[in-house]
Amino acid sequence: MNAFLIGATGLVGSRVLQILVDSPDYVHIIAPVRRSTEVRSEKVLEIPFDAEGAADLELPVSIDHVFCAIGTTKKKAGGMNAMEDVDVRFPSNYAERLKTMGARHFSLVSAMGADWESSVPYNAMKGRLEERIRMMRFPSTSVFRPSVLGGHREGDIRPSEAWAQRAMAWLPKSLKTIPAERVAAAMVAKALEEKPGMEIIRSGKIWAISESLS
């Protein structure tokens, strides 16, 4: 099969990329990027990130599974509107095009409190993306709502996230910090299942899925 990975240089996306490269189930991995993943594999084809032009996207291979692990912060984006572009509009643009191209499964990293009706701007934003993906009706969709993600972000320092990682390390698995590697492993595992419909997978279940793969 062939995969399309949005957010291949991020905390979760970079782990997903390595799993896909190592997996015998995937032949090609297409990754739209602004900077190289630095992964040296004949499987990986990096293309320029162009969410604005996604409607005209043409690829050399068909896509079976889409993985979306893109995200930013208000500070890094330069404001909430710019953050909305990165976290909602850009992945939606790619998703719409890939759905018309025949992708069977969409795997999305969302957030624990995602709810488009939430009074918390970040949670509402993540909820809007979930709702957009739901309305596209991929044959199979997995939405992951992890707790605070654990792991090192290359070249991206987020002091508040680092503090939260430490503070939440001792909580029950439904709430505690979850390593990015576990989220990535669960994403690929659920994609290979291609369970019909849309499934919401919360942090406790992400732990269970990843542990079952060990």
Q: Across all residues in the chain, what is the average pLDDT? A: 91
pLDDT in tens, 105-139: 999 999 999 999 999 999 999 999 999 999 999 99
- Contact between 4 and 98 (Cβ < 8 Å): yes
- How far is C-alpha 141 from the chain's CA centre? 12
Q: Which residues make beta-bridge pairs with 200?
A: 143
User: What's the whole-number mean pLDDT along residues 87-94?
Assistant: 96
**Could you tell me the pLDDT band of residue 9, with boundaries at 50, 70 and 90?**
very high
Q: Can you read off the two tokens belonging to residue 15?
A: 């782990």
- Contact between 109 and 68 (Cβ < 8 Å): yes
Domains of the chain: 2-212 (3.40.50.720)
Q: What is the pTM of this model?
A: 0.91
